[in-house]
Amino acid sequence: METLNRNLLHPQQRVGENMPRWLQAGGSEALRGAVKDTSALLPAIKEADLRGLGGSGFPVWRKWEAVAKEAASPDKYLVCNGNEDEPGTFKDRLLLEETPHQIIEGALLGALACGINRIVFYINPDLTRSLAALKSALGQWQDGELLKLASDALGKQIKMELVPGSSHYIGGEETAAMEWIEGQLSGKAKFPFPRGKPPYPAQCGIFGCPTLINNIETLAHVPAIMRNGAEWFRNLGIGHGAGTKLYSLSGDVLHPGVYELPMGTTLRDLIYVHGGGLLSGKPLKAVFTGGPSNTLLTPDDLDVNMDFESLRERGASLGTGAMIVVSEGTGMVKRVAEYARFFAHSSCGQCPPCKTGTATISRLLDRIDTGCGTAADMATLESLCRMLPGSGRCHLVNGVAQLLDSSFRHFRNEYEQALK
Amino acid sequence: MKRGLSLQAALAAYRPDTELAPLPELNDPDTLLNEHHPDHLRGSMTKLTIGPNAGADCQRELADLLQAEAFIDEADLAGAQVTDTDVLVIGGGGAGCAAALAAAESGARVLLATKLRLGDSNTVMAEGGIQAAIEPDDSAQQHMQDTLRAGHHAGDPALVAAMVGDGPEVIRWLIHQGMQFDQTASGDLRTRRAGGMTAPRIVHCRDYTGLEMMRVLREAVKQHRGIEVWDQSPVVELLSNERGQKCVGAVLASLSDGSMRIVRTRSVILATGGLGRLHLNGFPTSNHIGATGDGLVLAYRMGAHLCDLDSFQYHPTGLVHPPHLSGKLVTEGVRAAGALLLNGQGQRFVDELQPRDIVCAAIIRECREGRGIHTDNGGVGVWLDTPRLECSQPGMLEQQFPKLLARTHHVGIDPRREPILVYPTLHYQNGGIVIDVNGTTSVPGLYAAGEVAGGIHGRNRIMGNALLDIIGFGRRAGRAAALAEHDRGPKKITLEHVNRARRALTLAGLPLTQRAPQILPAYTAVGKDIWKP
């Protein structure tokens, strides 16, 4: 399986917080190169077609460019988002545990490219092992030669901080993250309510300063791109896809786990080659892509390349790369009801349509699932699917509606069977 | 096995007043156990290949169930009714009732689910009594030493200390619940000494102590407003959180219509009892019809550690004749009261008050070596010499063992005049789910109490400790489960642990054909096709 773990999870990279071993494996080379000429960073990332791997698939260079253009007032912030909390996603925790130095180097490169002097690592507090690994790794960088090199290149002291998250799912949303970090840095705790956009974080983020926010996985790719060149990175991918992607495979498969595969690997390869196939040899029923706030994939999608574009063409989305596989014999209504309950519970409650909409969806789904639903409940759910999208500040409510809508499309009969 | 005397010849030769030769010395109990105890039968053990106890010895019949596929799939849960409660108690015997009462007294909402009916359990079959160090010349320390020694020092001292320490309080609590005990003329609790004990320590109610205990527990449970009871609702699977690491509920089936119900809860207490109805090594059993080891299967699949799966207790005196009562118990109290065991030649062969495993191995040795008594339909056994006891203490059988007399009277045997043919019967599971003193298992949210839990009795239990164990640890588990903390966030209920077990089975190359838990023995009408469509 020469396609597996070629970059982020390459065995040489998985040294944990052991800095000397990481240096031996080529760590810090990219940073040492970049301090000589920071202007080469942005074009390289653009050339590599690196995307935001936290779920958006937004080209990284556009965010970087926007922040780079802004003047520091007085600071610029980089938030390394590791608040992963959604069902079925478990890639960031592995990266943090096994390759923390790679992430820190990536963050510093991002900071140099955009002229950022304050870096915040924002991690889900429930991931205690990841937190510990990153903390120990950061300790080895503080006051070290590498950080000084980077600060000198920037012309300002770079400050790196670790801010544990709020352990709310919504805290992973980028503006909510900024809200929480502001609270933690100023000592006056704030609930992570998402903010309205615009203004975008690039213009007005933490304390009004220009702020770049990237997922842990995105930043971890940067050092290798700088080391091996953009073309090398692009060629790692398949079809439209560039580079590699961490897929979190879970559910009814023989070997669940995190697989680093070329961006654009097919679902069939992921499930049947790497995941060892379905449990007890059952047929595939559907895949919730993650975290399960996206359109469902069905056996028809087995041969679609799993990159952002190809999936978008099918009306689906890659999300964080979480693939929750369900086999025949799984009740879809119950699953969707469970995820809806998760999102209803996670809604921060500031936008009324989201607060009441997700709660209503969850309640109606529970009703249908327990055999007490009526045709009127179904009709209500369907109209909610049309009404709710776009009615909240963040994407939470859209995700629920999308999941529900696509489960209606593919498994309508299961809902109808469960009605009274 | 060499054939000995026939039943008729042995009866004809029997005299209650024959002179007995002195008892031969027992020089090497370990050799006796190794050669004749059923735990050491060749071919009866295998090694577990999956799960937390992989590599450990285990009885073959049990291993097949521990490494079996689950009964249900997620699809079976579609449309299932969901009930929320604080504590779910699985099992309606003594441990289950004690746990439910303790949890309810601590303020929790309790749901008690039974496989058959409340009180259908081995508790009601416990005849001899319950141990507690309450006599002036006895101490908890002695009780502890006796328990550990009889268990071949395999028991967990912390658990034993907790149990013997609870002893007097347990008796007091039972009396407060309304339980009757036999008393001396002066009104003190009457005590007996039984096999393996250094002091008289068994308090009892005639020879139906367990039945009396269950009577008061049932009443207390039925009357408690914080406890809801679901009869005929066996558990077919536990439910776990999304990572399969915490127990968050259970799936209950209805015996009447086969429908599935989901119970979502903070903590689950397994009090499902033993597994006599698996008939290990083909032995008859003294256990009730529902004792099929379901709790072990469910807990193991969930990832709980088990212990001593190769150690079972065979009660020395199970009935052999008539065949339909085969395996039914004659209480050890009869031996404690002075009844002797005689082989086909009319001679004693073992000190009757040795621990159960030794007496049991000695009986099997006598039968194997041709000194047993054979019935026409293939049974074999030795005499329990009740007429001699009657001669020495006239009226004592009638007064102290009414249950024995009633049972034998039905089948035309009078133990006062003729001896009873007995042979070891599968009685008790020594090991089980590993617990701490609060009944906590290695799986968060999952508690265990009673026979399903292990580590207390080591590799052999002495009489009277089972009833003490179920009440003591039942109440401990109930209290701990009620005080367990709620989880943050929405409660997710999944079968992820079932998937994990399936993965392990597939990777180990084991078949996915056998299903467990067994719920009811395959030879019962319902058990044969229990969940088939």
Q: Is-contact B103 B110, C-beta < 8 A?
A: yes
Scanning every residue of chain A, which has its alpha carbon at the shortest distance from the alpha carbon of B502? Answer: A279
Chain length of chain B: 533
Q: CB neighbours (10 Å) of residue B64? A: 16
Catalytic residue from among B36, B321, B335, B461: B335
State the average pLDDT over residues B4-24.
Answer: 90
End-to-end CA distance of chain A: 50
Closest CA to B501 of B295, B303, B293, B250: B303
Residue A360 neighbours by CB under 8 Å, 6+ apart: A380, A384
- In the 8-state DSSP scheme, what is residue B316? E
What was the pLDDT predicted at B489?
59
User: Which 3 state secondary structure label does DSSP give B10?
Assistant: helix
Query: Contact B169/B471 with Cβ under 8 angstroms?
Result: no
Q: Do B75 and A330 touch (CB under 8 A)?
A: yes
Tokens representing residue B394 in the block: 């006239």
Using the beta-carbon criterion (under 8 Å), do B81 and A344 form an inter-chain contact?
Answer: no
Here the tokens at position A346 are 């996670």
> pLDDT tens digit string along B154-200?
999 999 999 999 999 999 999 999 999 999 999 999 999 988 899 99
3-state secondary structure B238-261: EEECCCCCCEEEEEEECCCCCCEE
- Among residues B26, B71, B523, the alpha carbon closest in space to that of B298 is found at B71
Residues B427, B285 contacting (CB under 8 angstroms): yes
CB B219 within 8 A of CB B58: no
- Angle of helix A41-48 relative to helix A100-114, nearest 10 degrees? 120
Residues B517, B512: Cα–Cα separation, whole Å = 14
Residues 6+ apart with CB under 8 A from A416: A378
Structure tokens at B80: 């299932």
- Outline where A269-317 has alpha helix (H): 308-313
Q: Is the CB of B257 inside 8 Å of chain A's CB atoms?
A: no
Do A181 and A206 touch, CB atoms closer than 8 A? yes
Q: Please list every residue in chain B whose beta carbon sits closer than 8 Å to the beta carbon of residue A86.
A: none
Per-residue buried b or exposed e for B146-163, using 16+ beta carbons within 10 Å of the residue's own CB? bbbbbbbebbbeebbbbb
A256 CB neighbours in chain B (<8 A) are 503
Beta bridge partners of B58: B46
Chain B partners within 8 Å of A279 (Cβ): 499, 502-503, 506
CA B428 to chain centre: 4
Closest-CA residue in chain B for A343?
B490
Indicate the length of chain A as a whole number: 420
Q: What gap in Å lies between CA B250 and CA B295, rounded to an integer? A: 12
Q: How far is CA B259 from the centre of its chain?
A: 29
- Taking the alpha carbons at both ends of chain B, their separation in whole angstroms is 44
Strand partners, B420: B384
Which is more confident, B488 or A221?
A221
pLDDT surpasses 70 at B532: no
Contact A414 B75 (CB under 8 A): no
| pLDDT by 10s per residue, chain A, length 420 | 478 999 999 999 999 999 999 999 999 999 999 999 999 999 999 999 999 999 889 999 999 999 999 999 899 999 999 999 888 899 999 999 999 999 999 999 999 999 999 999 999 999 999 999 999 999 999 999 999 999 999 999 999 999 999 989 999 999 999 999 999 999 999 999 999 989 999 999 999 999 999 999 999 999 999 999 999 999 999 998 999 999 999 999 999 999 999 999 999 999 999 999 999 889 999 999 977 888 899 999 999 999 999 999 988 889 999 999 999 988 899 899 989 999 999 999 999 999 999 999 999 999 998 888 999 999 999 999 999 999 999 999 999 999 999 999 999 999 998 887
Distance CA B440, CA B162 (A): 14
A159 strand-pairing partners: A118
Query: Using CA atoms, how far apart are residues B18 and B395, in angstroms rounded to an integer?
Result: 21
B242 touches chain A (CB under 8 A): yes
Between CA A346 and CA A34 the distance in angstroms is 41
CA distance B49 to chain A (A): 17
Strand partners, B249: B239, B264
Q: Which candidate, A106, A51, A40, places its Cα nearest to that of A78? A: A106
Residue A413: phi and psi, rounded to 5, are: -60, -35
- The identity of residue A231, as a single letter, is E
Q: Could you tell me which residue, B479 or A280, shows the higher pLDDT?
A: B479
Burial class (CB in 10 A: 0-12, 13-18, 19+), B487: middle
Task: List strand residue ranges (DSSP E) for A18-166, in order.
Answer: 77-82, 118-123, 159-164
Q: Tell the residue number behind the tokens 């997620």, with chain if given.
A: B74
Structure tokens at B333: 């109290």
Q: A279-316: per-residue pLDDT in tens?
A: 988 999 999 997 788 889 999 999 999 999 999 998 88
Cα separation, B237 vs B80, in Å, equals: 14
Task: Measure the CA–CA gap between A152 and A84, rounded to whole angstroms.
Answer: 33
Residue B337 touches chain A, beta carbons under 8 Å: no
Could you tell me the pLDDT band of residue B533, with boundaries at 50, 70 and 90? Answer: very low
Residues 82-101 of B with CB under 8 A from A: 82
The token pair that represents A8 in the structure block: 């982020």
Q: Among B387, B337, B381, which residue's Cα sits nearest to residue B363?
A: B381
Q: How far apart are CA B53 and CA B14, in angstroms?
A: 50
Tens of pLDDT along B281-339?
999 999 999 999 999 999 999 999 999 999 999 999 999 988 889 999 998 889 989 99
d(CA B55, CA B41): 19
Q: Is the peptide bond before B136 cis (omega within 30 degrees of 0)?
A: no
SS3 A201: coil
Mean pLDDT over the full length of chain A? 93
Identify all chain B residues contacting A280, using CB atoms and an 8 Å cutoff.
69, 502, 506, 512
Active-site hit among B36, B315, B427, B461: B315
Of B231, B71, B260, the C-alpha closest to A370 is B260
Q: Which of A295, A76, A70 is nearest to A203 (CA)?
A: A70
Residue at A403: amino acid letter: L
The answer to whether residue B371 is catalytic is no
Interatomic CA distance for residues A83 and A54, integer angstroms: 10
CB-based contacts of A262, cutoff 8 Å, min separation 6: A3, A6, A236, A237, A238, A241, A243, A244, A245
Distance set, CA B216 to CA A199, B180, B191, B219, B450 (Å): 71, 9, 21, 5, 18
C-alpha A26/C-alpha A136 separation (Å) is: 20
**What local confidence, expressed as pLDDT, does residue A33 receive?**
94
Q: What is the mean pLDDT of chain B?
A: 93
Strand partners, B270: B90, B448
Query: A44 CB contacts (<8 Å, ≥6 apart)?
Result: A225, A226, A229, A230
Contact A91, A321 (CB under 8 A): yes
* Whether B499 and A279 lie within 8 Å, measured CB to CB: yes
Q: Whose CA is closest to A93, among A133, A137, A55? A: A133
CB atoms A330 and B507 under 8 Å: no
Nearest-CA distance A174 → chain B (Å): 21
Provide ipTM, 2 decimals: 0.77
Is residue B358 within 8 A of residue B32, CB to CB? The reply is: yes
Instruction: In whole angstroms, give the CA distance from residue A71 to residue B132.
Output: 81
Task: Answer yes or no: are the C-beta atoms of A252 and A294 closer than 8 Å.
Answer: no
- Rounded to whole angstroms, the Cα distance separating A289 from A57 reads 14
Which of A280, A326, A331 is the closest to B502 by Cβ?
Answer: A280
Beta bridge partners of B247: B240
Q: How many CB pairs under 8 A join A and B?
A: 60
Instruction: Give, for A359, the enclosing helix (H) or strand (E).
Output: helix A352-369
Tens of pLDDT, residue by residue over B405-433, are 999 999 999 999 999 999 999 999 999 99
Q: Is the dihedral of CA A364, A369, A373, A376 positive or negative?
A: positive
Phi and psi at B135, nearest 5°, equal: -80, 150
Q: Which two tokens stand for residue B438?
A: 């609060």
- Nearest Cα to B319, choosing from B330, B303, B307? B330
CA atoms of A354 and A395, how far apart (whole Å): 10
CA-nearest residue to A254 within chain B is B503
